[in-house]
Structure 1
Amino acid sequence: MWQHKELALSQHQSIAYLEWLPQQPAVHTLVFIHGWMDNLASFHPFQSLIAEHGENWRVIMLDLPGHGHSSHKSDSNYYHFFDYIDDLAQVLDKIQAVKPVLIGHSLGALIASCYSACFSESVAGLVQIEGHFPIAEDDSHVVARLKSSIQSRKQWRSSETKKLPSFEMAVQMRMRATKLDCDTVSPIVERDVIWRSDTQAWYWRHDRRLKCESIYRMTPQHSKQLMASVTVPHLVILGRQGYRQLQQTQYLELLTRANIVYVDGDHHCHLESPWPVFEQILTLVNKI
């Protein structure tokens, strides 16, 4: 059965996660990693599919730091992309993952690919949903990026936490951002809001610093080198109506070791076509 748990990474940092334990000894540990501004409820359709098909998998669905019920980073931290990879490494070590298969959506897909590139001996398989190459830009943007990131931090420091008009309004906001319907997006919102009795109002749980601009991005050469170093069984799942840049030939032709498949849906295609996505994951894991 599914159990909600919490894992301490340090005295001040904890990771919330959902765990499924099989009746038999686990053959693999499937680790689901959500996208930016989402949380583990982004994978809620898979909970019933995993329970129904009864594979000998141990399944972990994570809330990334600053998201969902996981704690926020310290005051001096602004959620650098590379720190997420270290967070994942700590989680995998602490939960003693057996032959882990990393399954990531969007930001989670990029985190999973970088970890797989660095620690291929410790990963059994990689599934990327609507994400593949880590975000990169030409080094000529370095000054503009640095300036923009500092300005975004200044803006965050001068802003205040705002109340949400209502839970229903929070759902509407996420519907507009994700293009998902109410029933699909509601579990994600439920995990991302909190009711405060002192103010009698709803607030977002996620850390507002998540919206600060990245202070640094790797170059295209760095990104390509990382993906070229992924040698584990590799599946890339793209939504037919998803981000167009992910479907550009200049990227896909470099994924020579990956099996690339398309399913119906937009950027959150795993929520719009959960069974086709799960079926692809099932096929990959059974071949390992």
Structure 2
Amino acid sequence: MLVQHTYSIAERNIAAIDTGNHQTADCSVIFLHGWLDNAASFMSVLDVMTSQITPRIHLCAMDLPGHGLSSHKSADNFYTFHDYIDDVHQFLVTLPAKKKILVGHSLGGLIASCYSAAFPEYVDGLFLIESLGPLTESAELSVQRLRDGVNSRNRIRRKSRNRGYEHYNVALNVRAMHSALPEALIEPIVARGIELRDGLWMWRADPKLSAQSLYRMSDAHAEAVLAAIQAPFQVVLGEQGYPSLKSFSQTMLPEQIEIQHVKGGHHCHLEYPEQVGRLISQFVMKINVTPFS
């Protein structure tokens, strides 16, 4: 059964959707969602997996800070990518399970890959969905990125508040169109990511999440990150997902990586949760060496 749970890290709360006992589990599987999604992105996958795993495995889909039901960061914080790695570290060290596996989609995958490289002692397996190492950019673009990033922060500061909707269904339709998904598939994410305030439906996500990054790694940085990953490493790409992921240079990939393709697009885990959930379960089984029911 999926339950709501709140974890405390530093000066904020992390909201999560859990199944299994995080205090007694042999293995915790932590799911990290994409940008402006939330933990509900994995609900259908969790439903599939709960019928395949033993009670000794803890599944936990967390809301990254500023997303879903998790706390927003301070007013002067603009959610720089590397701070998420610190957030995940603070979260993982609270879990007593002997083995920990990270599952990341999109932004969550970028975070999970970098964390796995920096802290291999805390990661026993890495499973990415429509993600493959940190985003990179030519060094020649770094100055323009700094300028554009600061200007985007100033635009956000000048806005009075988030855009609101008079009707929930309008917000649902807007998000479905933006994600290129049927409303029925995206609805759990919308339901967790929106609230009624002063008669208008408002997104819970911190508006500062929309600020552009001030920095992006070079190819050399990304190669070093991927080379440092020691854990078993599996990637699932949607057949209609981001083309850039399919053309990723094989020379940059760790030897232990396994890449599989499934039907669907960038949110293939929402479109085909049975297939993706089964692949994650099989991956967990290999690492945890615990019989599935």
Q: Which moved more, 1:226-235 or 1:276-285?
A: 276-285
State how far apart, in whole Å, the 1-side matches of 2:176 and 2:250 are.
29
1: distance between equivalents of 2:208 and 2:93?
A: 27
- Relative distance call for 1:209 and 1:97 in structure 2 (3 A) is farther
Hey, what does 1:257 align to over in structure 2? 256
Letter in 2 for 1:98: K
Instruction: Summarize the Cα distance change of 1:271–1:82 in structure 2 as closer, same or farther, 3 Å threshold.
Output: same
Give the match for residue 189 of structure 2.
Answer: 188
1:10 aligns with 2:16: no
Q: How far is the alpha carbon of 1:252 from its aligned partner?
A: 7.3
2:26: which partner in 1? 27
1:140 is matched with: 140
Give the corresponding residue for 1:154: 154
Instruction: Tell me if the contact between 2:223 and 2:252 (Cα under 8 Å) persists in the aligned partners.
Output: no
Measured in 2, the distance between the counterparts of 1:58 and 1:167 equals 33
Q: Detail structure 1 runs of 4+ shifted over 6 Å in the superposition.
A: none
1:164 correspondence with 2:165: yes
Say whether the 8 Å CA contact 1:164–1:204 is kept in structure 2.
no
User: Gaps spanning 5+ residues in structure 1: where?
Assistant: none
Output the aligned Cα RMSD: 1.7
After superposition, where does 1:1-288 map in structure 2 within 5 Å? 1-11=1-11, 13-21=12-20, 25-55=24-54, 56-161=56-161, 162-196=163-197, 199-251=198-250, 254-288=253-287
CA distance in 2, matches of 1:211, 1:85: 18
Distance 1:67 1:249 in 2: 29
Structure 2 Cα separation of the partners of residues 89 and 185 of structure 1: 29
Amino acid at match of 1:20: T
Q: TM-score, normalised by structure 2?
A: 0.93
Give the drift of 1:8: 1.8
Q: Secondary structure of the residue that 1:68 maps to in structure 2?
A: coil
SS at match of 1:48: helix
Distance in 1 separating the partners of 2:171 and 2:5: 26
Deviations 1:23-68 (A, max 9, x none): 9952311001100000000001023213222423111110000000
5+ long unaligned stretches in structure 2: 288-293
Q: Deviations over 1:214-271 (max 9, x none)?
A: 0111211111100111111110000000000000052576343201000000000011
Q: Distance in 1 between matches of 2:67 and 2:120?
A: 27
Equivalents in 1 of 2:196, 2:269: separation in Å? 29
Matched residue type, 2:64 = L
Cα 1:125–1:194 shift into 2, 3 Å: same
Over the matched positions of the two proteins, sequence identity in percent amounts to: 38
Conservation of the 8 A alpha-carbon contact between 1:103 and 1:128: yes
Distance in 2 between residues matched to 1:23 and 1:177, nearest whole Å: 35
Instruction: Give the TM-score normalised by the residue count of structure 1.
Output: 0.94
Question: Contact 1:138/1:219 (CA < 8 Å) preserved in 2?
Answer: yes
- Report how many residues are paired: 285
Change (3 A) 1:146 1:50: same
